[in-house]
Structure 1
Amino acid sequence: MRIRDWDSNLKVRLFGEALMNITFWMFFPFLTIYFADEFGKSLAGLLLILSQVLSVFANLIGGYCADRYGRKRMMVLSAFGQGVCFMLFGLADSPWLQSPWIGFLCFSFVGFFGSIYWPASQAMVADVVDEENRSSVFAVFYTSINIAVVIGPLLGAIFYVNHRSQLLLIAGIICVGLAAVLQKWTRETAPTYEHKVNTTTKWYSFVGNQLRDYKIIVKDRTFLLFIVAGILSAQTFMQLDLLIPVYTKEVVHNQTLLTLGSWSLTVSGEQAFGFILAENGLLVALLTVAITKWVIGFKERNVFIVSSLLYAIAIIGFGQTEWIWGLVLAMAIFTLGELLVAGLQQSFISKIAPDHMRGQYFAAASLRYTIGRTIAPISIPLTVWIGYEWTFFTIAILAIGSAAIYWIMFSRMDHKQQTLTDVKDLA
């Protein structure tokens, strides 16, 4: 499905979100280093865990609100909220005010609003794109994000150290601008969009209704296994902006990346991280659509399992080398594991989700990331307790566990499908 044939909502979002993501990735990968330097690794890990607890809560209410109050409304609110938080973060790290605690609080609320945005945005794609083309559309959005991951860190390596406050302020302005664009040039797509205010309704009835709806989702055992497997695999790819930047900063010391005659390019730890992160983004930007089309021809079971196993191999590779080109190779394997399921995951969710609960299913599915990110920062203090090598090995074991759960999930699905076929044959 060509972009020119897309729904106008998606075109507006694609280009607006691309600009926001480029700015975001100019500083986001380096924030773990910032907080580790300001608070120490142990406290920084604990604080990052606490910030993600807030995102888990936001994720739960985000899907519910996307289904009840509309995709557009929640996306506009979220983009505006992120913009305000980025601006405050920029002021908290300015010549007039130096407060890492205020910065951390703003960072936490950026995650909160981002968790509200995500399920509404994914549900909007499912609303306006037929099932046949969803994987390719999701893949294009994923590619857009990773183009930002190429450009952002490279620019960040140049501007972040001396212009962090300005970058945060620019990100805030862009987010507020995106909110205005979404408000003016997009329409509501929720199939049952209707908002009625009942002034007699108590605040806790909202939470009760929400929990009842999520109880229905939890009873979907296949989907629950999908979430658990995703949480385990998330412990690997979440380290891309948690453990890996701290690791490269400590173990890579002015290594020569490239030599041409008498000229050579030497990189420090932070620059090495920016380079391999850009490598990840470049490979994803170039290959996502092609690999998504390729893997559609394979069984979903095999694709998900192989993806988790590649994550395990890559994360062990990171822990076994301090050589810059060894890190480059590990990142290539890591990226392949990421690309295999980039388009399939969202298509899989939209396929099993009822139309009237898509927002909540996407929100519940993103618990793979929010809960995964809540747990993942423990890796930072873990390096103090057991060292880098054993920390990477522990994370690899979790990825292997993810592969095992995917196998169980698809076996369950196959058995259920076979049972339904047998019942139809008997009828």
Structure 2
Amino acid sequence: MRGETCVQWLSWDVNLKTRLIGETLFNLLFWMYFPFITIYFSEAFGPVIAGVMMTVPSVISIFGSMIGGYVTDRLGRRPTMLIGSFMQVVMFALFALSLSHWWDYISFVGISLGKSLYRPASAAMVADLVSKKERRQVFATFVTANNLGAVLGPVIGAVLFFNYRSELLWTCTLVTLCYSIAIFFMVRETMPKEDRKVEYKSGVLSVIKGQWMSYYVIFRDKVFFLYILGGIFITVSIMQLDLYLAVYVNDHVPTQDLVATKNLLLTLSSEEVFGWMLGLNGLMFVFCVVPVMKLLKKWSDRNTLILATVLSGLGMFLVSVTSNAWLLFLFTFIFTLGEIIHAPVVQNFVSTYAPKNARGQYMGASDLQFSVGRFIAPVTVILSATMSPLFVFGFILACALVSAGLYFVLFRVFSENDPMESICET
């Protein structure tokens, strides 16, 4: 299986190879700081203010994804990726200077904006270069490679972020700069020339109006609207790994002996337990995405997505019943399995469903499910100030079940509109 994947990677276009390597290195560093951002701002401003503050990057990402998708279909994939990546370089440098907590927060928001501009162009480039038959496998490979960093990142970050934060962020700045330079010199434009729509004579108001009308047409599509809505609710559940779960483990999981024998004593603090949970999450993405996708290859997309939402919500809810590290690792396995099943299928759906001449905008609109979901997700941190963990995790489970219902309705409507479409059968 590994040999087959390696051979397939060697035959990829140089654009995909460059992006795969660059994004993998960046994500290694990303997972060293991002999971601990909520704890960092909670300690600085308190859990309620921090919960409100964590919604702002998601709002910014909504507009960033829409602008990124619009620009992607007009200027092209490569220029949009360069704008997003160089913006992250600047913001990482500002974060590394760390003149104040508010300065750090503004820099973090800027990093989120840069990522939201980059993503639609990146996804559209994959759809440009890969055939419909191979896209699901390619997306699964990107998911696997991008989560390599999630194996070691959180474990290392639990030490580096709180003790060597400036050095870590300067390293992020350097790596992102190197990747941006690689995009400039090695990545070529993939959008067909006939689809390019650069509006040199249009004023700012005309461009904004054109962008608004384009997205208005997209969201009138009932199938795509249900797809976005279902994605929003499951994102609320999935995002808790980096939000309320971090707070819960920090507040309710005591330092404990993971292994205690005559010859070996392994004790973990609450931060280290959380780091191990994140490491397990990343490890599963590295080793389980491809085999799980092959195991479920005969399942319909509808059943696959419903299974993913149920596992994600149930696994998160079970966390509320224990503070034992071993049980937390077991429940991490369950909700991560749901996330693994979900990620490649939703990416394949939108790349196949989107019209070729509006691929960037559909990718940008698709990102709204993650942006809006991330906007709603921090409400769990706010609720935790007054509500019990059981109530908060019950809310997370409810969001996952609503997502399952929306996916069921989506595929029923989709099959009625186009019953012969193969995407519903695979």
Q: Are the equivalent residues in 1 in contact too, given 2:320–2:389 (CA < 8 A)? A: yes
Residue 197 of structure 1, CA deviation: 5.7
1:392 aligned partner: 393
2:29 aligned partner: 23
Q: What SS does the aligned partner of 1:343 have? A: helix
Residues matched between the structures, number: 414
Q: Are the equivalent residues in 2 in contact too, given 1:292–1:344 (CA < 8 A)? A: no
2:123 aligned partner: 122
Which sits farther off after the overlay, 117-126 or 378-387?
378-387
1:138 aligned partner: 139
2:208 aligned partner: 207
Distance 1:182 1:107 in 2: 23
Residue 419 of structure 1, CA deviation: 9.6
Residue 4 of structure 1, CA deviation: 0.6
1:425 aligned partner: none
Q: Are the equivalent residues in 1 in contact too, given 2:62–2:367 (CA < 8 A)? A: no
- TM-score relative to the length of structure 2: 0.94
Distance 2:261 2:371 in 1: 44
1:407 aligned partner: 408
Distance 2:179 2:83 in 1: 10
2:278 aligned partner: 277
Q: Which amino acid aligns with 2:361?
A: Q
Distance verdict in 2 for CA 1:195–1:355, change over 3 Å: closer
Q: What SS does the aligned partner of 1:14 have? A: helix
Q: Are the equivalent residues in 1 in contact too, given 2:9–2:17 (CA < 8 A)? A: yes
Residue 19 of structure 1, CA deviation: 0.9
1:39 paired to 2:45: yes
Q: Are the equivalent residues in 2 in contact too, given 1:232–1:402 (CA < 8 A)? A: yes
Q: Which amino acid aligns with 1:45?
A: G
Matches within 5 A, 1:96-245: 97=99, 99-192=100-193, 194=196, 196=198, 198=200, 200-245=201-246
Q: What SS does the aligned partner of 1:201 have? A: coil
Q: Are the equivalent residues in 2 in contact too, given 1:288–1:342 (CA < 8 A)? A: no
Q: What SS does the aligned partner of 2:385 have? A: helix
Q: Which amino acid aligns with 2:52?
A: L
Distance 2:364 2:61 in 1: 11
1:308 aligned partner: 309
Q: Are the equivalent residues in 2 in contact too, given 1:29–1:245 (CA < 8 A)? A: yes
Distance 2:357 2:196 in 1: 12
Q: Are the equivalent residues in 2 in contact too, given 1:292–1:341 (CA < 8 A)? A: no
User: Post-superposition, which runs of at least 4 consecutive aligned residues in structure 1 deviate over 6 A?
Assistant: none
Aligned residues with identical type, % of pairs: 36
Q: Are the equivalent residues in 1 in contact too, given 2:73–2:197 (CA < 8 A)? A: no
Residue 335 of structure 1, CA deviation: 1.0
Q: Are the equivalent residues in 2 in contact too, given 1:292–1:342 (CA < 8 A)? A: no
Provide structure 2 residue ranges, at least 5 long, that are not aligned to the other structure.
Answer: 422-426
Q: What SS does the aligned partner of 1:341 have? A: helix
Distance 2:299 2:392 in 1: 33
Q: What SS does the aligned partner of 1:270 have? A: helix
Of 10, 16, 41, which residue of structure 2 is paired with 1:10? 16
1:58 paired to 2:64: yes
- TM-score relative to the length of structure 1: 0.94
1:417 aligned partner: 418
Q: Which amino acid aligns with 1:316?
A: F
